Amino acid sequence: MSYHQQSQSRYGQCDSYFVESHDDGVYALRAEARERQKALARMQQRALAEELSRLTADEYQEDVVDHMIHMESQTLPDVNSIDIQTEIQWFMRPYLLDFLVEAHAAFQLLPETLFLAVNLLDRYCSRRVVYKRHYQLVGCAALLIAAKYGDKKDRVPTVRELKSMCCSLYEDEMFTQMEWHVLQTLNWAVGHPTVDAFLQIALSEAPYDAEVEHMTLYIAEIALFHKEFVSTRPSVLARSALALARCVLSRPQSRTSEWAGAYDAQTVIGLSNHLYQPSPVLSRKYGSLHLSNVSATVDEFLQRQAQIARRDAAPPTPPPTITIEDAKPIAGLYGPQTPQKTPYGAMMHNGCLTPPITPETEQFGHVNVVKSQPVPMYPSTPTSDHASNMQHQSQYYHSTYLHPHQM
Task: Give the model's pLDDT for residue 259.
Answer: 87
Q: Taking the CB of residue 32, how many other CB atoms lie within 10 A of it?
A: 10
Q: Which of 153, 170, 152 is nearest to 161 (CA)?
A: 170
Q: Return the higher-pLDDT residue of 7 and 284.
A: 284
Lowest mean pLDDT among 106-120, 251-265, 374-388: 374-388
Lowest mean pLDDT among 87-91, 102-106, 371-375, 390-394: 371-375
Q: What are 237-247's pLDDT values in tens digits?
A: 999 999 999 99
Q: Taking the CB of residue 235, how many other CB atoms lie within 10 A of it?
A: 24
Q: Residue 8 pLDDT more than 80?
A: no
Partnered with residue 370 across adjacent β-strands are: 359
Domain ranges of the chain: 85-186, 195-305
Task: Give the model's pLDDT for residue 10.
Answer: 53
Q: Residue 364 pLDDT more than 50?
A: no
Alpha-carbon distance 199 to 219, whole Å?
12
Q: Residue 368 pLDDT more than 90?
A: no
Q: Residue 302 pLDDT more than 50?
A: yes
Task: Give the model's pLDDT for residue 258.
Answer: 87
pLDDT range class, residue 90, cuts 50, 70, 90: very high
- DSSP of 203-245, one letter per residue? HTTS---HHHHHHHHHHHHHHTTSGGGTTS-HHHHHHHHHHHH
Query: What's CA 27's distance to the chain center, in Å?
Result: 52
Q: What are 112-166's pLDDT values in tens digits?
A: 999 999 999 999 999 999 999 999 999 999 999 999 999 989 999 999 999 999 9
Q: Which of 352, 351, 344 is nearest to 306 (CA)?
A: 344
Alpha-carbon distance 218 to 296, whole Å?
11
Lowest mean pLDDT among 113-122, 281-290, 340-349: 340-349
Q: What are 217-231's pLDDT values in tens digits?
A: 999 999 999 999 999
Task: Give the model's pLDDT for residue 405.
Answer: 44
Q: What are 29-82's pLDDT values in tens digits?
A: 888 888 889 989 989 888 888 888 777 777 788 888 889 999 999 999 999 999
CB 258 within 8 A of CB 306: no
Report domain 195-305's class.
mainly alpha
**pLDDT, mean of residues 392-398:** 53
Percent of the chain scored above 90 by pLDDT? 54
Mean of per-residue pLDDT scores for the chain: 79
**pLDDT, mean of residues 261-272:** 93
Q: Residue 293 pLDDT more than 50?
A: yes
Q: Residue 216 pLDDT more than 80?
A: yes
Highest mean pLDDT among 66-70, 332-336, 337-341, 399-403: 66-70
Q: Residue 282 pLDDT more than 90?
A: yes
Q: Residue 205 pLDDT more than 50?
A: yes
Domains 85-186 and 195-305 share a fold: yes
Task: Give the model's pLDDT for residue 315.
Answer: 63
Q: What are 379-388's pLDDT values in tens digits?
A: 443 444 444 5
Fold of 85-186: Cyclin A; domain 1 (1.10.472)
Task: Give the model's pLDDT for residue 63.
Answer: 85
Highest mean pLDDT among 330-334, 357-361, 400-404: 400-404
pLDDT range class, residue 25, cuts 50, 70, 90: confident
- DSSP of 94-145, one letter per residue? HHHHHHHHHHHHHTT--HHHHHHHHHHHHHHHHHS---GGGHHHHHHHHHHH
Q: In angstroms, what CA-CA distances link 247 with 104, 216, 311? A: 28, 11, 21
Task: Give the model's pLDDT for residue 379.
Answer: 41
Q: Residue 404 pLDDT more than 60?
A: no
